[in-house]
Structure 1
Amino acid sequence: MFGTIQSYFRLRYGRDKAYYRMLKTIFGLRPNNIELYKLALIHRSASLFLDDGAPINNERLEFLGDAVIESIVSDFLFIEFPEADEGFLSRLRSRIVRRSSLNRLAIEIGLDRYVIAQGGNGFAQKHLYGDTLEAMMGAVYLDKGYDFSNRLFINGILRKYVDLDDMSEQETDFKSRLIEWSQKNRKRLQFDSAPSASYTAKSPHFRTTVLVDGRPSGDGEGDSKKESEQRACQEAIRRLERLGESVLSEAAGGSDGE
């Protein structure tokens, strides 16, 4: 009871009332240690300095939050996609936790309005909102623990702002990924599709061969032309990946945080 009354007065009248309101509005939480969250909002471009020259900014919290978010997303995807293999889960996780995605999420939840930063350009500034989201999750983890952080990020962010159906569909659209890779690397791509020997009007069946620069690179069969093309492209991608071509990572925009 006393804790509830204390939180109410902090929210309405306390010195840090703006921070308490922000945390309640965006994350739906009442902090135990408000100083952690205040620190999480200070980007390194706006660092404060102690007498000994040590900087005060959110970099350490960002480091911690990065690991927390990756762990939460890994756990979430493992449960949501029980039949998916390791490659699919890794690529989908990469799409969710890369800097550009976290930057977008930070803006959508309204965190960008509270970031403390100095003007400037460059990669670090470009993704400062995503960096701040990582730092905030680091603060939540230290203040509330992993279980609370897990529930908050999954229910308050992932389920509200991430379209998993769309993302997973993109992950299984092997034809688009192969076309994107071939255009980027100036490869000539051909699809040779035809009804298979078992084709009938009542039970259609197709077979497709994918050719890369004139060389057969993948075969696939399916009950529709589209399905056979997807399977042929999937096989072609597997063969290309075994030869050292990074088809999936290139088509997904790489794994460098972009």
Structure 2
Amino acid sequence: MELQKYFSKFLLKQRKKTLTERDYFLSIELQKILGIEIQNISFYREAFAVKNSSKNHDSNYERLEFLGDSVLGTIISCHLFHTYPKANEGYLTQMKSKIVNRKNLNKLGDQLKLTELLSKSNVITSLGENISGNLFEALIGAIYLDFQYETCKRIVLEKLLTPSEINKLEHKIVSYKSLLLEWSQKKKLNIKYDTCEEIQVNKSVVFRCHVWLENEKIANATETSKKKAEEKSAQRAFYILNKKENILGSPKSL
């Protein structure tokens, strides 16, 4: 046992010598997250690299994000297919959307503190609000290239997005607007959104959205973008209608 410990420490020291300080940091931190020693550091170096405006051809996370998005989609689709053998295509599609939507991926990336793995030279505040979710997908792309599909699937479902976490999403609402559309179609009712720009006292521009059910205005909300205003007003309309119609009982929102 003592001999084994000696060789483990020796190999760790030798490995550290072959890596830069940056690579060694990535290797150690990712092993904590994934529960496995990574094999090819270059994949992860790329997964946590961002564009440099002065070097447009530098490698960055975007290609791995593209790959990770497809790999994650396949893993989740297969998991849902086998977990819900009696579910129809519509239900499976909705569940997948809840799992891989940008808001949920951002939350997962935040929980793993993936932005802390970016190079210190990167200014995180300039990388956009979806950087955590983008890095999450890039990480999955790197894992896939490093270990291939089966190991990647195991890591995703055991470490990054466990079945218990997936189950929590089953009764949560991702889009109130989509939910209202589905409900109105079943009821053969017409729901429409009337959105316009408004200039506030401080001269900032906001968007106000009114939700109409047939000829009745039932809710409204203002937000900084048209999309956010429509979703917020749809959420308010949902709770108003839910008291009368009990559309989905008492759901939770993401």
Say yes or no: does 1:101 pair with 2:104.
yes
Which residue number in structure 1 is paired with residue 202 of structure 2?
A: none
Letter in 1 for 2:212: R
- Residues 40-76 of structure 1 show CA distances to partners (whole Å, capped at 9, x for unaligned) of 00123x4673xxx523211111110110011111111
| TM-score, L = length of structure 1 | 0.60
> Is this contact kept in 2: 1:26–1:111, CA < 8 A?
no
Which residue number in structure 1 is paired with residue 13 of structure 2?
A: 9
1:169 aligned residue (152, 163, 171): 171
Deviation at 1:115, TM superposition (A): 2.6
Which residue number in structure 1 is paired with residue 141 of structure 2?
A: 138
Partner SS for 2:212: coil
What are the equivalent positions in structure 2 for 1:16-165 lying under 5 Å apart? 16-44=23-51, 46=52, 49=55, 54-116=57-119, 117-119=122-124, 125-159=128-162, 162-164=165-167
Change (3 A) 1:140 1:101: same
Q: Which runs of 5+ in 2 are unaligned?
A: 185-190, 194-210, 216-242
Change (3 A) 1:178 1:68: same
Aligned equivalents of 2:10 and 2:72: distance in 1? Answer: 30
> Is this contact kept in 2: 1:61–1:134, CA < 8 A?
yes
Tell me how large the CA RMSD over aligned residues is.
3.9
Q: Which runs of 5+ in 1 are unaligned?
A: 190-225, 235-251, 254-258
Aligned equivalents of 1:138 and 1:48: distance in 2? Answer: 26
Deviation at 1:88, TM superposition (A): 0.7
Change (3 A) 1:90 1:120: same
> Is this contact kept in 2: 1:11–1:20, CA < 8 A?
no
| TM-score, L = length of structure 2 | 0.61
Paired-residue identity, % = 28
Task: Count residues with an aligned counterpart.
Answer: 190
2:213 aligned residue (187, 193, 215): 187
Aligned equivalents of 1:47 and 1:152: distance in 2? Answer: 34
Letter in 1 for 2:147: K
> Is this contact kept in 1: 2:115–2:124, CA < 8 A?
no
Deviation at 1:120, TM superposition (A): 5.0
Change (3 A) 1:78 1:47: farther
Deviation at 1:27, TM superposition (A): 1.2
Letter in 1 for 2:135: T
Change (3 A) 1:93 1:25: same
Aligned equivalents of 1:9 and 1:95: distance in 2? Answer: 44
Deviation at 1:96, TM superposition (A): 0.8
Letter in 1 for 2:123: Q
Change (3 A) 1:160 1:76: closer
Partner SS for 2:162: helix
